[in-house]
Amino acid sequence: MAPPEYITNPEYSSKILVRGDPEYERCREMNPSAAGPRYPREIHLVESVADVKNALNRVTELGTTVSIRSSGHAAQSPYLVQDGILIDTNKLNRHVDYDEEMAQISFGPSCRIGEVSQKLSEVGRFFPIGHAPTVAMAGYLLAGGQGFFMRRYGAAVSFVTRMEIVLPNGDVVLADRNNHSDLFWAARGSGLGFFGVVTRFWARTMPASTPWQRIVQFEINSDNYEKLMTWAIERGRETPKQDTDLNMTITYAQADPTATGDEVPPGAKLHLTLLLLCYAETEEEAKGMLSAYDQVDEVRDFLLDKQSVQKGTFEEILAAAEAGPGPGTRVHNNSILSDPGCSLPRLLETMKPALLELPTRQSNVYIYHCDQRPDENEMVMSLPQDLYFMTATIWTDPERESDLRQHMRDRYTRALSVAIGMFVVDLDPNWEDVNTRVITDTALQRFLQVREKYDPQGLFPNYKAFVRADQNARGVTGAV
């Protein structure tokens, strides 16, 4: 039976689904790609803090473990805890509020990026939302948040001022810089490794400006790859960090929009698309901010399209990035954060197979200029973030899963030699030997101490993936 269509506000007839219930599998697979091969014992569809407490009590009663899902958007479905309790927060505080006096927004964990963007537009404020409209705010922010204009504002979670959290023992606390500050530190950047249930976020905002965008597109291939990618990345490094957002994708040109199946059409060409954004008051200001990309003489032979700077809205930009593949599609993400100390020629030479040897028609690459050095004293998100490289392998035939995973695994094993680490959302519980560290060694040690303080019984087991990933990076073997 085909997996269900992914929708952002599904309905179920019960608040607790047990394996074997008619709706259990529909709920388990409610994500934009095929769910991972793990089966929770029960799924709790919580609507209140009391429901969360009851679910945690059930975890203790059964002597099992727990994981949390806010939207199920992570391709590897790491929230599926085998034989444990899955807490689904889809209907928990599902509304966005704005406090005009404090200039703060607040929202529940499963409020989608698109919903928060709509509220911000209504009140004329800005908060660094993410680039995908159906991602939930808890997954986005707990991972740190690679949001709009990260080059200037840093990780989106730095805008968060307070969180309401249900602890493993059922206590409800408000964590901020002054209260439960260790918990507040550990939540910001630990993703599904976090050891509590965030039921509400509060975040500061700032006055809104106007988004502007331009698109520049090239044909890319093995022969022009080094020259074209060097030009694109160097132009990005010349672009001022203030209020600019630089994105690159590599995809197969879809000559036939009705094409189906996984096979790459014979003679298919790859396109490199630059989506360049800035936040400015005037068109002239926007043109100046993105002017590094005006000179294309050295790569003109590969140029397909060069658009002028155009005024837009976040709603329009997000609409172009809707959820993606759909029912029955499998997605496997591999990623690295590039080592800032690595030379650009070495980085590009090492990454070439991962970026150009896309094994299926729908597979694609996403590259983001992060330009960040997070402060480890402020949040557990601590690795330098220069360039983020991610390859999404996308297919529909389940018989091809092993071969396709191995195809990209081989290329990203090579990529680890130029990586400082990887983004926490791309940790893969289905094939852990492709994982590498997601936080620094010192942040990991502090995180483990805070986790032991709040979750001594180990109800939230996903932190172990951090330890195993760190061991992989250091070539250490052994059980966790």
Residue 348: beta bridge partners? none
Whose structure tokens read 């910001």?
Answer: 188
Check pLDDT > 60 for residue 478.
no
Q: Residue 480's pLDDT is what?
A: 62
- Contacting residues for 392 by C-beta, under 8 A, at least 6 apart: 75, 331, 332, 333, 363, 364, 365, 366
Residues 227-259 have pLDDT tens digits of: 999 999 999 999 999 999 999 999 999 766 667
**Higher per-residue confidence, 385 vs 326:** 385
Distances (CA, A) of 26 to 7, 325, 409, 425: 11, 17, 29, 23
> What is the set of domains in the chain, with CATH numbers?
16-88 (3.30.43.10), 96-207 (3.30.465.10), 212-426 (3.40.462.20)
Q: Please answer whether residues 250 and 365 qualify as being in contact, where contact means their C-beta atoms are separated by less than 8 angstroms.
A: yes
Question: pLDDT-derived band of residue 6, with 50, 70 and 90 as boundaries?
Answer: confident
Work out the average pLDDT over 344-370. Answer: 97
CA 15 vs CA 7, 43, 67, 127: distances in Å: 18, 8, 16, 33
Cα separations in angstroms, 227 against 101, 231, 301: 52, 6, 11
Using alpha carbons only, give the angle 37, 9, 81 rounded to the nearest 5 degrees: 25
pLDDT tens figures, 364-375: 999 999 999 999
Structure tokens of 389? 């490289």
Mean pLDDT, rounded, for 299-303:
98
Assess whether pLDDT exceeds 60 at residue 479: no
Residue type for position 300: R
**Alpha carbon distance 433, 436 (integer Å):** 8
Q: And the tokens for 434?
A: 């492709």
pLDDT the model gives residue 261? 82
Residue 71 has pLDDT above 60, yes or no: yes
Per-residue confidence at 476, pLDDT binned at 50, 70, 90? low
Nearest CA-CA partner of 334 in 308, 304, 358: 358
Q: Which residues pair with 105 in a beta bridge?
A: 98, 203
Confidence of residue 36 (pLDDT cuts 50, 70, 90): confident
Cα distance between residue 113 and residue 137, in whole Å: 6
pTM for this structure? 0.95
CA triplet 126, 130, 135: central angle to 5 degrees? 125
* pLDDT band of 477, cuts 50, 70, 90: low
> Each residue of 160-191: pLDDT tens digit?
999 999 999 999 999 999 999 999 999 999 99
Q: What is the mean pLDDT of the chain?
A: 93
